[in-house]
Chain A
């Protein structure tokens, strides 16, 4: 039972353009959402988060949007850079400290 879904296994974007990574969730009790970035042979690195009381959070080139009614969040990267090429995981937190992760989306930024 996948409570957090990232339906696009991969995404390819030209350098300088916008990358949009999507995530859907099913559990309405989730109240905190995070995006992690992962390079090969390394652990996930925290990127940006958003609380369920907000609909947008921005940090430099990264913006996360949350649509609670649709149970959908997205990560926008503008402008995309080759160093952004990695696997991006969406994660959600409900009761307690447990994070539920999606399967990840591989982002390739072409120069």
Chain B
């Protein structure tokens, strides 16, 4: 059983479009995250939610909006996609702040 699942795995779209990536975890964790892995392979935190409440919001363009309908889900919506948004986006979850984070397999977003 997949612990942290993201859909879709691949997303190819045109510049200017709006897209969403879904993330679900079945681990019973309270905290969920979104990371971006850029072309230099660095994993950088974008957002974190604890029990549906936003607790980390890094310097990310307003075009990126996370939504957490419940503590098992954290979706990422991106408006007006730009070429620089091309990256692999990883969702993660943890039981608490000091616990290791469990990652999904990533969504590779390609902007044409």
Chain A residues in contact with chain B, CB under 8 A? 32, 34, 36, 41-46, 49, 87, 89, 91, 93, 96-104
Cβ contact within 8 Å between A43 and B104 = yes
Question: Which B residues lie within 8 Å of A103 (CB)?
Answer: 40-42
Contacts of B43 in A (CB 8 A): 44, 89, 91, 99, 101
| B105 sits at the interface (CB 8 A) | yes
Residues B90 and A44 in contact, CB atoms below 8 Å apart: yes
The interface residues of chain B lying within 8 Å CB-to-CB of A99 are 43, 45, 101
Interface of A, helix, strand, loop or mixed by DSSP: strand
Q: How far is the CA of A48 from the CA of B45 in the complex (A)?
A: 20
* Residue B4 lies at the interface, judged by CB distance under 8 Å to chain A: yes
What are 6 A-B interface contacts by the 8 Å CB criterion?
Answer: A36-B103, A43-B92, A43-B104, A45-B103, A98-B45, A104-B41
B105 adjacent to A41 (CB under 8 Å): yes
